[in-house]
Structure 1
Amino acid sequence: MDIKTASAVHRLRLISFPEALSFPALLIFGSLLSRLTDIDFLMKPLGILHGILFVIYGIFLLDVWNRAKWPVKRVAFFFLLAVLPFGGLYGEKLLKQEEQDAVIASRARREGTVNAA
């Protein structure tokens, strides 16, 4: 994995955490708040914030797909994780492991301990 691919995975990992929390934390909290109180003005900004985070996640996912040459099943899996409440937290964990593996492989190639395949 080259540096541009690793940075694309890193960006996806960074956005997956706030996107994962935006659906349950913001939208469900805002929905409950609007039903239990007269505070309705929060739903629109919270929905917009969640939508922006979701679109950014989708763009970053497409960038990783393009750079890392992931199979369609893997991209669909990460997209599904973004749709599920708190699913992005699991995706963030997987991406962190992949990012660490890429750094280890890069260092090994640089030191010449592993043959480039």
Structure 2
Amino acid sequence: MIRLFKLIATLEGISAIALFFIAMPLKYIWDNPVLIRPVGMAHGVLFTIYIAFAIMLKTEHKWDWKKFIIICLASIPPFGTFYIEYKYFRNTAAS
């Protein structure tokens, strides 16, 4: 389950970067909103899945509340999920 969470975290991070650094500049700088809906939808779905998996893993692995809150909050800024993967899951066996 950790391996799947790491994949979701990576995809969520990529979708956040695509939304903030590609789709939003296209809309607000070049007045071209074509990517906002698909990229925003993908990011929203991946964000929801990321949080759901964090909740499941908190229960399964008995994370303390501090770790859980940090992992959840890291999904908000771009690159946050990459930091979490590195800090908490780099040495985790694929299970």
Structure 1-normalised TM-score?
A: 0.71
By how many angstroms is 1:82 displaced? 1.1
Of 77, 91, 104, the residue aligned with 2:84 is 91
Aligned Cα root-mean-square deviation (Å): 1.8
1:55 matched to 2:56 = no
Name stretches of at least 5 consecutive residues in structure 2 with no aligned partner. Answer: none
Q: Secondary structure at the match of 1:88?
A: helix
CA distance in 1, matches of 2:18, 2:57: 26
- Give 1:63's aligned amino acid: M
CA distance in 2, matches of 1:55, 1:96: 23
By how many angstroms is 1:11 displaced? 1.6
Matches within 5 A, 1:100-115: 100=93
* Misfit runs of 4+, over 3 Å: none
Q: Which moved more, 1:19-28 or 1:53-62?
A: 19-28
- Asked if the contact 1:54–1:82 (Cα under 8 Å) also holds between the matched residues in 2, the reply is yes
1:73 matched to 2:63 = no
Structure 2-normalised TM-score?
A: 0.85
1:15 matched to 2:8 = yes
Identity %, equivalent residues: 30
By how many angstroms is 1:90 displaced? 1.2
- Asked if the contact 2:18–2:39 (Cα under 8 Å) also holds between the matched residues in 1, the reply is no
CA distance in 2, matches of 1:70, 1:47: 30
Of 11, 18, 25, the residue aligned with 1:25 is 18
By how many angstroms is 1:68 displaced? 0.4
- Give 2:36's aligned amino acid: M
Name stretches of at least 5 consecutive residues in structure 1 with no aligned partner. Answer: 1-7, 104-117
